[in-house]
Amino acid sequence: MGLFERFLTVWVGLGILAGVGLGLVVPGAFQVIAAIEFAHVNLVVAVFIWVMIYPMMIQIDWHAVKDVGRKPRGLILTLVVNWLVKPFTMAALGVLFFHYLFAPWVDPQSASEYVAGMILLGVAPCTAMVFVWSQLVKGDANYTLVQVSVNDLIMILAFAPIAAFLLGVTKITVPWETLVLSTVLYVLLPLLAGMATRRALERRSEHAVADFVARLKPWSIVGLIATVVLLFGFQANTIVDKPLVIAMIAVPLMVQTYGIFVLAYVAAKAMRLPHNVAGPACLIGTSNFFELAVAVAISLFGLNSGAALATVVGVLVEVPVMLSLVAIVNRTQHWFPAPSVRR
């Protein structure tokens, strides 16, 4: 894990402080940026999101999908957790906390938007940071690649319908065309661009892909921090008026993350998956593709919305929580069979 990834929470925290400070000092600049949009998509934020996502998509090797049937049980666990469990538990926790437990301190409109942001996080399983988590737990790199690739293929088809269903269940009106446009803009097109770039690089040399991604990685973090600065700049007055809102959003996100991990890890142990498959499988199901969630929240609800704020808090919470889960996975290797066991 490089310097940027290791201290991502620090960079995000500094971005939050910078965004709030600038939002209070020069609010007019953020209003100008907010007006630069097309079809409900803010073009400035869209550029930053692409800067974040594009390097991640280049890392995905679609040739690995052909091996999907070789070791199916770990993949089945990942897919069940990501698509049949996680989105629905996230929606349930959002409703529980913001419509009931935190209801005395949050107005109904803001509560609905916070729930919407949580739902978008829950429907977006992690893509890029999984490679980092897998490396830290000495996971099977090729198998992790298969899991991520299959997840992204499913995301193209499943993200919009599941998000629309859960947002509808929670009585949040969602324009379908905006949700589909967001999926195309932030999932399909970056995937196609990443595939084309990877194919071109592979023709050059064996190490061209890794070298190119390494050069782009700092820019990916710059895109993330720039997005955080913008979002918290737009939310500056709200945050100053309601400083506890970030803590309130963080609580159900942490409950969700640890709860999903426990569920997946117990299932992996019951399935007798080897440690180098069980670790990445559980961490994929636990973490989020927060870049996509941020982008879609902005497109659907606006830069100043509680939904956008909730997705950015997801960035702040995820890294320290995931590092704690990595430590748990590494300390419990003896719970699982050796990698040589047939799976």
pLDDT digits (tens, 9 = 90+) for 288-332: 887 788 878 888 888 778 898 898 888 778 878 988 999 999 999
Q: Which of 7-21, 150-164, 251-265 has the highest mean pLDDT?
A: 251-265
Model pLDDT, residue 341: 43
pTM: 0.82
* Contact between 54 and 216 (Cβ < 8 Å): yes
Structural domains of the chain, count: 1
Residue 90 lies in a domain: yes
Give percent of the chain with pLDDT exceeding 90. 31
Q: Is residue 343 part of a domain?
A: no
pLDDT digits (tens, 9 = 90+) for 151-187: 888 888 898 899 999 998 888 777 777 778 878 887 7
**Backbone dihedral angles phi then psi of residue 289, each to the nearest 5 degrees:** -85, 75
**What CATH number does the domain containing 57 carry?**
1.20.1530.20
Q: How confident is the model at residue 150 (pLDDT cuts 50, 70, 90)?
A: confident
Burial class (CB in 10 A: 0-12, 13-18, 19+), 109: exposed
User: What is the reported pLDDT for 126?
Assistant: 79
Q: Kindly state whether residue 170 falls inside one of the protein's structural domains.
A: yes
Average pLDDT, the chain: 84
Please check the confidence at residue 12 and state whether its pLDDT lies above 90. Answer: no
Q: Residue 125's beta-bridge partner residues? A: 288
With the C-alpha atoms ordered 267, 273, 275, 276, is the resulting torsion angle positive or negative?
negative
Angle at CA of residue 22, ends 16 and 28, nearest 5°: 130
Query: Is 137 among the domain residues?
Result: yes
Instruction: Classify residue 12 by burial, with Cβ atoms within 10 Å: 0-12, 13-18, 19+.
Output: buried
Outline where DSSP puts E strands in the chain.
37-38, 41-42
Residue 302 lies in a domain: yes
Pick from 98, 119, 27: which is nearest to 244 by CA? 98
d(CA 17, CA 210): 33
Residue 342 maps to a domain: no
pLDDT band at 144 (very low <50, low <70, confident <90, very high): confident
Residue with tokens 């020069």: 26
Using the predicted structure, report yes or no on whether residue 138 has a pLDDT greater than 90.
no
Which structural domain, as residue segments, surrounds residue 213? Answer: 3-335
Mean pLDDT value across residues 229-240: 82
Report angle CA 151, 147, 168 to the nearest 5 degrees: 25
Check residue 342 and give its pLDDT. Answer: 44
In a domain? residue 20: yes
Q: Is residue 226 part of a domain?
A: yes
pLDDT (0 to 100) of residue 259: 96
